[in-house]
Copies of this chain bind each other. A is one copy, B any other.
Amino acid sequence: MLALIAGSGDLPAELVARLSDRPLICAMSGFEPTSVEAELTFRLEQLGSFLIELKSRGVTEICMVGGVGRPSINPTAIDAATMPLVPILQAALLAGDDGALRAVIGIFEQLDFAVRAAQEVAPDLLMAAGVVTKVQPGELDKADAVRGAEIVAAMSAADIGQSCAIRTRQAIAVENTFGTDWMLQSLQNRPDGSGGVLFKAPKPAQDLRADLPTIGPATVELTAKAGLSGLVLEADGVIVLAQDEVIATADRLGLFLWLRPA
């Protein structure tokens, strides 16, 4: 049996909709999901007891999906079953995002849960490689995609962002800590008119059990408002939410959407 530890955003609901068997939906207290309802909520200080409870309900697999923040731990609330996990949890809270995730996965695996990525549980969260819109990318767009892949790889090495906008092989925007939407909004005042592509890909070294970068219809709207010609997503590396609506929005706005093999 599968347990979801669900956070914010639309991804948990999209995942649940794709499963034939309803999973046990769980949430960490303080970071409840917004798109599904949690059946079981746990405090991080009682993670040990929570995992024992999962075992007793027949859970064998865990999938963490959606956004969660960094919780703080109240030392007086730690229960006996969680005490042995405290050193790992403390290290996790001090580590970067990737490190924190690896630590938590380590706890689950140590207790014999299999940890599954969202795209492993529901492979059609990813779209097949190819151009799915009426508009196709041109030769210049293809060259800009190559440049975008180079730039995101360099940014990822410095752990900056996972997307950029390129026009005629020049970076006209580079994602920062405020995310893709903010980057696209900043281009609404761009000094060079229009044209260029949005490129988005996971970090090369990203643990694929963390949520992959994700887009949805709002990303397509913002890409159009930024004056860009289309979206290039690394195929197998970017989750597309509300896929029919994403394609319809791109077609309506005259953009291309290209799932590009890495």
Contacts and interface: CB of A to CB of B under 8 A. Distances in A.
A177 B182 contact: no
A75 interface: no
A138 interface: no
A171 B183 CA distance: 12
Contacts of A182: 191
Nearest to A154: B158
A40 interface: no
A194 interface: no
A161 B192 CA distance: 17
Contact of A158 (B151, B161, B189): B151
Contact of A174 (B157, B167, B176): B176
Interface in A168-225: 170-178, 182, 185-186, 189-192
A85 B171 CA distance: 32
A185 to B, nearest CB: 8
Contacts of A189: 185-186
Contact of A178 (B155, B158, B190): B190
Contacts of A151: 158, 160
A150 interface: yes
Contact of A177 (B157, B161, B172): B172
Most B CB atoms within 10 A — which of A178, A185, A192?
Answer: A178
Most B CB atoms within 10 A — which of A153, A167, A172, A186?
Answer: A186
Contact of A186 (B155, B161, B186): B186
Contacts of A191: 178, 182
A151 B176 CA distance: 11
A171 B175 CA distance: 9
Contacts of A185: 189
Given A154-B158, A174-B176, 6 more contacts: A161-B171, A161-B174, A172-B177, A172-B178, A178-B190, A182-B191
Interface of A: 150-151, 153-155, 157-158, 160-161, 167, 170-178, 182, 185-186, 189-192
22 contacts: A151-B158, A151-B160, A154-B154, A154-B155, A154-B157, A155-B155, A155-B158, A155-B174, A160-B171, A160-B174, A161-B171, A161-B174, A170-B176, A170-B177, A171-B176, A171-B177, A172-B177, A173-B176, A174-B176, A178-B192, A185-B189, A186-B186
